[in-house]
Amino acid sequence: MDFGPYLLLASLEGAVGAAVLALTAVGLSLVFGVMRVVNVAHGEFYMIGAVVAWFVATTVGTHPALGFVAALIVAPLVAAIIAIAADRLVLKRVNYDPEATIVATIGILYIIQQAALMGYGPEARPVEPPFNHRIALPWYDFAAGEWFYPWGLGTTSYKLFVIAVAIVLLLGFWALMTRTKVGLVMRATQLDWDMAQAFGIPVDRVYALVFGFGAALAALAAVLIVPIQQAHYLMGGDPLLLSFIVVIIGGLGSVRGTVVAAILIGMSDGIISVFFTPTLAKIIATMVVALVLVFRPQGLFGTKAA
């Protein structure tokens, strides 16, 4: 394949990855920003989203679009309810102690993963996309001076839809955080826990809400990706690792930084994997994390720890 169409294809693949990664990582970043909890179980909420999407899509088996829309609503809700329960039953009991919560969320990771294995099984199962057409993309041939359709250069309408929905959801999230009272309350809790409580903010409930909301974002990302990739009980591993990379590069707790880093990592992962090897893409991402930690520990957009 020629270089130009090849690059376009790689960028499109990278953009789909980046869109889903941004949603997942924003959830992780939010939880850390507000609660100072490093949620190792974040990838499992992503997995729950995919698995619930499969259950919903197969139960509401009339038209794929109907099942998909139902999954978009139900999956984040289920993930949020499980996350809130985990917050009430576990994280609150260990007083959100940083080390204890890491160990606790590792435990939650295994509980959710094994529960999925027992209840859902070891197979990777597909969810039918609401619509899916192959779109052949044209390319301009400078030598001949005309547009043509290169072999293999194409994407699907569903992949473009994923990118669009992710952008809308991220804008919505930004508006929620900056333009609404809920967002204000969350930001207040993030800035100063004691002061927020002194002003009558029910910090306990904000924490539960934030943990649930973070999980719901991961689940939403998974519902979007599951018609492309299948739901599988081990699928939470990769998004967790990439989300951590993104959040560290972008700056823990910074939504803007998280989105920028997700695009950076997602796109470079797509492009480097295509032109070199997927292993090299992971090596480079990990090296960037190391460099950021050494030279700019607060991340690209993070503020110095208070």
| 295/297 Cα distance (integer angstroms) | 6
User: Counting contacts by CB under 8 A, is residue 284 touching another protein?
Assistant: no
Pick one of 15, 17, 224, 292: the residue that binds another protein (CB under 8 A).
17
Using the rule CB under 8 A, is 44 a contact of another protein?
no
Separation CA 25–CA 43 (nearest Å): 10
Nearest approach, Cβ of 274 to another protein (angstroms)? 4
Residue 274 interacting with another protein (CB under 8 A)? yes
Which residues are within 8 A (CB) of 208 and not within 5 positions of it... i.e. 6 or more apart?
84, 87, 88
Q: Residue 249, SS3?
A: helix
CA geometry: angle 288, 242, 223, nearest 5 deg: 155
Q: Which alpha helices (DSSP H) does the chain contain, by range? A: 3-35, 42-59, 64-86, 98-119, 157-179, 181-191, 193-198, 203-225, 237-250, 255-275, 278-295
**96 and 37 Cβ atoms separated by less than 8 Å:** yes
Which of 92, 96, 115, 230 is close enough to bind another protein by CB under 8 A?
Answer: 230
How many residues of this chain interact with another protein, rule: CB under 8 A?
Answer: 38
Among 81, 278, 280, 287, the residue binding another protein under the rule CB under 8 A is 278
Residue selected from 69, 88, 100, 154 as contacting another protein according to rule CB under 8 A: 154
Residue 27 contacts residue 287 (beta carbons within 8 Å): no
Which of 238, 284, 288, 298 is in the footprint of another protein by CB under 8 A? 238
Per the CB < 8 A criterion, the answer to whether 54 and 74 are in contact is: no
Using rule CB under 8 A, residue 61 touches another protein: no
Binding segment (CB under 8 A) for another protein, from list 29-37, 75-83, 150-158, 286-294: 150-158
Residue 23 interacting with another protein (CB under 8 A): no
* 251 interacts with another protein by CB under 8 A: no
Residues 66, 90, 107, 132: which binds another protein (CB under 8 A)?
A: 132
Contact 107, 44 (CB under 8 A): no
CB of 29 to another protein, least distance (A): 23
Residues that bind another protein (CB under 8 A): 1, 5-6, 9-10, 13, 17, 58, 64, 117, 121-126, 128-129, 132, 134, 136, 151-152, 154-156, 228-230, 232, 234-235, 238, 270, 273-274, 278-279
